[in-house]
């Protein structure tokens, strides 16, 4: 069954006639609940209609940011929407017929379940000084000055801490560790000018000033790095059994203990990833994934936007399974997520802003028939 483009456009714009609404509903029903892929622009769907579909979906989920790079972003629409939008299920795009009543009842159900809504994470961390003193890092730290040996620590504003060398001849090397809890993130400027963004549930151990022929830090969790160039002093990031060596570049390292692999994604410059006797040189746009069980490294060319979406304030999924998605929510909202029975075998493609409360995120998945039970910060994924 074919349907005129104008009828689809009118349907999405909310100005469809009764006959056009019936035509769209009949068209959807004709698929007998099978997953149907929306045609590519080359198959006749005009780009302007795809853009309007995208804008409509973003409006429904509360994201008012302007649309950019529609061809690339289209593939990451959220796996949920009301009937005037699009649902993405198992990686394919679907029109769905009128589900307005179900969407409303679902929204009420989710709000009822999450009685005391859980706010998203924010800029918070703790800093452990060389003598063991633990300093909380939050908005109250702004403007504070401290010293660690020959280095001055400056708390710039909420979410940023800078180390400033006062002399190049440090008498001793002091190490600090910054740690973000679940629901926390923080930005750090190292003594050499390198910038580090820490994701939730992560830590970085580093010297307060860099001496010698190398710059070395130790990471757990996830961080995005913009390394100040210095060809005479390479920068090394060690995480578990993997080491990343750079001169001056931008890259992301994801090394959570409960993930299947340690992933290093290169945006600019070049890095050398090594584990044991295996060494791999990455080019911009490449990602090295080291399997945590076998220590084997696989190089791929994913969309780098997926790897750094967290830094840009997004959850971004690209065919990710339920477990992967829930682990991200667990870290950012400080949750305990359990499953009633087996983990659902679904996959999700799309984006959700990280600054929205938990109930709104769960609503996205509820609309797509993934249901939950909330007890405080314990979320049970239901069958």
Question: Tokens for 153?
Answer: 């620590």
> Of 307, 342, 373, which one is at a domain's C-terminal end?
307
Does 249 lie in the same domain as 104? no
pLDDT mean across residues, the chain:
77
pLDDT over 70, % of the chain: 69
Does 135 lie in the same domain as 102? no
Enumerate residues 6+ apart whose C-beta is below 8 A from 305: 72, 312, 316
Q: Is residue 59 part of a domain?
A: yes
pLDDT of residue 41: 42
Q: Is residue 6 part of a domain?
A: no
Of 220, 226, 171, 174, which Cα lies nearest the Cα of 200? Answer: 220
pLDDT at 105 over 90: no
Model pLDDT for residues 322-364, shown as the tens digit of each residue = 999 999 999 999 999 999 988 888 888 788 889 999 998 888 8
CATH number reported for the structural domain that contains residue 358 in this entry:
3.55.50.30
The mean-pLDDT minimum among 81-85, 244-248, 323-327 falls in 81-85
pLDDT at 75 over 50: no
- What would you report as the CA-atom Rg of the chain, rounded to the nearest whole angstrom? 24
What is the domain extent for residue 79? 35-118+312-383
Model pLDDT for residues 278-303, shown as the tens digit of each residue = 999 999 999 999 998 899 999 999 88
Q: How many domains does the chain have?
A: 2
Does 337 lie in the same domain as 226? no
Q: How far apart are CA 317 and CA 305, in angstroms?
A: 10
Q: How far apart are CA 273 and CA 254, in angstroms?
A: 13
CATH number reported for the structural domain that contains residue 259 in this entry:
2.60.120.1440
pTM: 0.73
Does 261 lie in the same domain as 155? yes
Mean pLDDT of 351-378: 87
Q: How far apart are CA 340 and CA 159, in angstroms?
A: 37
| CA distances to 56, 178, 274, 366 from 252, in Å | 32, 17, 15, 31
| Coil/strand/helix, residue 149 | coil
pLDDT of residue 100: 32
| CA distances to 137, 175, 180, 226, 358 from 159, in Å | 8, 20, 11, 16, 22
How confident is residue 91, by pLDDT bands cut at 50, 70 and 90? very low
> Of 284, 307, 330, which one is at a domain's C-terminal end?
307
| Coil/strand/helix, residue 159 | coil
pLDDT over 90, % of the chain: 45
Range among 63-67, 154-158, 159-163, 183-187 with highest mean pLDDT value = 183-187
Q: Is residue 84 part of a domain?
A: yes
Model pLDDT for residues 146-173, shown as the tens digit of each residue = 888 888 888 887 679 999 887 666 667 8
Does 132 lie in the same domain as 54? no
Model pLDDT for residues 250-281, shown as the tens digit of each residue = 999 999 999 999 999 999 999 999 998 899 99
Q: Is residue 26 part of a domain?
A: no
CA angle, corner 309, sides to 307 and 315, nearest 5?
110
Does 67 lie in the same domain as 84? yes
Does 57 lie in the same domain as 206? no
């Amino acid at each position: 069954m074919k349907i005129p483009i104008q009828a689809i456009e009118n349907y999405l714009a909310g100005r469809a006639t009764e006959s056009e609404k019936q035509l769209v509903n009949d068209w959807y029903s004709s698929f007998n609940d099978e997953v149907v892929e929306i045609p590519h622009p080359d198959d006749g769907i005009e780009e302007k209609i795809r853009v309007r579909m995208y804008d409509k979906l973003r409006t429904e989920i509360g994201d008012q940011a302007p649309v950019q790079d529609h061809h690339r972003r289209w593939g990451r629409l959220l796996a949920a929407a009301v009937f005037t939008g699009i649902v993405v299920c198992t990686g394919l795009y679907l029109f769905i017929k009128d589900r307005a009543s179900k969407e409303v009842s679902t929204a009420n159900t989710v709000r009822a379940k999450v009685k005391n809504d859980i706010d998203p994470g924010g800029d918070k961390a703790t800093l452990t000084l060389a003598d063991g003193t633990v300093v909380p890092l939050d908005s109250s730290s702004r403007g504070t000055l401290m010293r660690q040996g020959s280095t001055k620590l400056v708390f710039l504003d909420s979410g940023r801490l800078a180390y400033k060398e006062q002399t190049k001849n440090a008498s001793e090397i002091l190490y600090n560790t910054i740690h973000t809890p679940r629901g926390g993130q923080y930005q750090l400027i190292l003594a050499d000018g390198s910038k580090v963004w820490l994701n939730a549930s992560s830590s970085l151990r580093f010297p307060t000033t860099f001496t010698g022929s190398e710059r070395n830090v130790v990471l757990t969790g996830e961080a995005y790095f913009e390394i100040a160039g210095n060809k005479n002093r390479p920068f090394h990031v060690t995480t578990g059994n993997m080491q990343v060596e750079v001169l001056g570049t931008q890259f992301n390292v994801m090394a959570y203990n409960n993930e299947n692999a340690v992933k290093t994604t290169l945006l600019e410059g070049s890095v050398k990833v090594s584990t044991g006797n295996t060494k791999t040189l990455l080019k911009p746009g490449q990602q090295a994934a080291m399997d945590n069980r076998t220590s084997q490294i696989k190089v791929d060319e994913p969309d780098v936007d997926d790897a750094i979406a967290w830094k840009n304030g997004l959850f971004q999924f690209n065919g990710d399974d339920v477990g992967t998605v829930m682990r991200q929510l667990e870290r950012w909202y400080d949750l305990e997520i359990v499953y009633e029975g087996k983990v659902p075998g679904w996959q999700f493609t799309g984006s959700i802003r990280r600054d929205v409360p938990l109930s709104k995120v769960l609503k996205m998945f509820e609309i797509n028939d993934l249901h939950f039970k909330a007890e405080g910060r314990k979320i049970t994924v239901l069958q």
